[in-house]
Chain A
Amino acid sequence: MNLEPGLYHLLFISAALLFIGVYGFFTRRNLITMLMSIELILNSVNLNFIAFNKYLWPHKMDGLFFTVFIIAIAAAEAAVAIAIIINLYRSHNSIDVENAEELKY
């Protein structure tokens, strides 16, 4: 394990961030905090792409463009998610995800 930061370190951070986001998604009761965890997941993916682009394909820019587009789409998705949360808040008067179990058996 060398101390000089390389591809493996970046991948470590990316994986750790991913699973932190996943833990947050499982655990948080509030819809907005769930959204935040999703943003963490998306960022970890972006980091992954950039890392591979820098170290494995330095002669191309594909990873970079993936990242750009992911950022754009994440923004759109966050906006739509907020709209849904606001709508849900209006009907249930709370944004606790445990209250939104209409699809129960």
Chain B
Amino acid sequence: MPNGTLIALIPLLPLAGFILLGLFGRKYLKNSSGIIGTVLLLASTILAIYTAYEYFFVYGKVAGVYEKKFPLNYTWLEFLPAGQAGSKGVSIDMGILLDPISVMMLVVVTFVSLMVHIYSLGYMKGEERFSTYYSFLSLFTFSMLGLVVSRNLFQIYIFWELVGVSSFLLIGYYYNKPSAVAACKKAFIVTRFADLGFLIGILILSFSSGTLDFNTLISTLTTPGSGQAKAVASTFLGASAITWGAALVFIGGAGKSAMFPLHIWLPDAMEGPTPVSALIHAATMVVAGVFLVARLFPVFSITTPGVLEIVGWVGAVSAIIAAIIACTQTDIKRVLAYSTISQIGFMMFALGVSGYGGEAGLGYTASMFHLFTHAMFKALLFLGAGAVIHYIHSNEMKDMGGLRKFMPITHITFLIACLAIAGVPPFAGFFSKEEILLSAYHNNTIIYYIALFTSGLTSFYMFRLYFSIFWNKPHEVERKKHGKGGFSMMMPLILLAIGSAAAGFIPFGKYVSSDGTFLESHFHLQFSILPVLLGLAGILIAWWLYHKQSDRADRLAASLQGFYRTAYNKFYIDEIYMFITKKVLFNLIGRPAAWFDKNIVDGMINLTGNTTAAISESIKKLQSGKVQQYAIYFLVSVIGLALLFIYVWK
């Protein structure tokens, strides 16, 4: 059994960082908070890599399967003690679960977070609230690490909410900007709304299986037996209870992963500092939804295949809609945000088309592989964009152009990342995307064609971005030297570029697969030709339109007119939400509720107060200050009492 305390240190070190920097950072540790945060995270990363090494190589496979390991368990709140209802008992435990995907996520989260910490040393230098920023980053890292090693449904919910809070704090970091405040509120509210579904799903699932523990829950719900029968038997509106449970859990995941139609918060979340966007909204937090579906994958694929189909379709629709919108946006961070939505859509539908076990589980492995490589190149893209923004002091593409001579390292690494995301061999994206397309091809042809088209669009808009930033205009006059960013900003770019280039060669199926067995990854030459050709075509079109300043792009946009305008306005989804919120929710529900609260509930309380005051007003006349009246009251009372005692109470 791996050392529980050592593994527990992985999330706890950032937590210590949060507490330390949060309490003392402002006053005492202002200059060294960055170093402290980074050092703590470096320790976490080393521990995570060591754990991964131990898990995959030292403990290795047992009977051909990577087992789940539980190094740490602490029973916190017990609802039903074990022994009752025949099951293990319902309790909220806090513990650590190690299995291939959680170990992989540990490595990804700590590594990308470390890169962001180092990058922020240079990017956020001179900020007023430097230590607050690092404390929030540490809080986020702690929450995300806790999320991936959760062994209990409720524990994952706790960390889910913590991640949402950290995201809220970080998006709203520049709290003086009203747009940032609106964005962080929007992010939190949309994800919270989705988490309502998640909570109901948790309750349904735990009720059906009689436990909250992941391991027991999965085994109860997937093996045919009494637990499953009970869950399948009860229906509501035509679908069984467990289908509802799984669907609601997926809604929670869809909110966090910015799937259509809950994707509205992610583009606005770009108001936060760019390293934050790299960490949270590209590599780690937004994949939490994918992680959740992967964690509960046996339930989804064996017991409720219908929900898995929904997962697949939601992922595919998100992928293509986001890709179309990304082709029209001019803010570079927005383009990257929509790209993230699209790529996560890929991961989602890869899970959606996957089966369980052996060859059928290719989609699962592909999805996790894409998660791994996407973290690398998307973080790299964001950090590179951050370097450009730092240099130009603007987010808009029209302010940029011709930067390749001034920012060579950024240029090369950005190019590597773009090639990776476009799926050009031998970079990482090619391998993971190919596996996704392969699995889609085998299971659902319509989704395969959508995916193919989307990957073409991906390469188009990414290279549109690349050419607009680094080519397009003739070489600019060199600006002030300061903006380029020092060593701390360049090193993470280089490391991530190495990752994007080399990660594709890891034989992922050996380590991560749907049932833990070895999945051989084949290289199908004929199959890969079509996607690669589409990718290259996208690059060529982008080169033709954008590498020199011309009006070819504008003429193309003008010819598409209405469709272009709709895509530019993000398909008016935000407007629809605003309409629903204002007209329906506020007027029909909010206003009557407020009226009721103010007049009836408050009114009743005021009524008791007013009544008391009125009664006391009328009684106070008894104290008139006139002695003779008092004497009269006295006599009358005495006579009354005498009568009472003599005649009534003998």
Contact = CB atoms under 8 A, between A and B. Distances in A.
A–B direct touch, CB within 8 Å, in complex? yes
Interface of A: 22, 25-27, 34, 97-98, 100-105
B626 interface: yes
Interface in B386-420: none
Contacts of B625: 100-105
With most chain A CB atoms within 10 A of its CB, the pick from B627, B631, B635 is B627
B616 to A, nearest CB: 10
Interface of B: 620-621, 623-628, 631-632, 635
A84 to B, nearest CB: 12
Nearest to A29: B628
A26 B631 contact: yes
B623 A103 contact: yes
Contacts of B620: 105
Nearest to A23: B635
Contacts of B631: 22, 25-26
Top 6 A-B residue pairs of the complex, sorted by shortest distance between their CB atoms = A101-B625, A104-B625, A105-B620, A103-B625, A105-B623, A26-B628
Contact of B627 (A22, A27, A97, A105): A97
19 contacts: A25-B628, A26-B628, A26-B631, A26-B635, A27-B628, A97-B626, A97-B627, A97-B628, A98-B626, A100-B625, A101-B624, A101-B625, A103-B625, A104-B623, A104-B624, A104-B625, A105-B620, A105-B623, A105-B624
With most chain B CB atoms within 10 A of its CB, the pick from A25, A27, A104, A105 is A105
Given A22-B631, A22-B635, A101-B625, 4 more contacts: A27-B628, A34-B628, A97-B628, A103-B623
A26 B631 CA distance: 7
Nearest to A19: B635
A103 B630 CA distance: 12
A101 B625 CA distance: 4
Contacts of B626: 97-98, 101
A29 to B, nearest CB: 9
With most chain B CB atoms within 10 A of its CB, the pick from A27, A34, A101, A102 is A101
A22 B529 CA distance: 121
A56 B631 CA distance: 32
Contacts of A104: 623-625
A94 to B, nearest CB: 15
Contacts, number: 30
Nearest to B632: A26
Contacts of B635: 22, 26
A102 B631 CA distance: 17
Nearest to B621: A105
Contacts of A100: 625, 627
A96 to B, nearest CB: 11
Contacts of B621: 105
A26 B626 CA distance: 10
Nearest to A102: B625
A102 to B, nearest CB: 6
Nearest to B616: A105
A104 B627 CA distance: 10
A66 to B, nearest CB: 22
Nearest to B630: A103
A105 B621 CA distance: 7
A9 to B, nearest CB: 23
With most chain B CB atoms within 10 A of its CB, the pick from A26, A34, A97 is A26
A85 B625 CA distance: 17
B649 to A, nearest CB: 24
A97 B627 CA distance: 8
Contacts of B624: 101, 104-105
A34 B624 CA distance: 18
A26 B635 CA distance: 10
Contacts of A25: 628, 631
B481 to A, nearest CB: 83
A23 to B, nearest CB: 10
A98 B631 CA distance: 14
A102 B625 CA distance: 6
A102 B627 CA distance: 11
Contacts of B628: 25-27, 34, 97
Contacts of A27: 628
Contacts of A34: 628
Contacts of A26: 628, 631-632, 635
Nearest to A98: B626
A98 B629 CA distance: 10
A100 B628 CA distance: 11
A24 to B, nearest CB: 10
Contacts of A98: 626
Nearest to A25: B631
Nearest to A101: B625
A105 B616 CA distance: 11
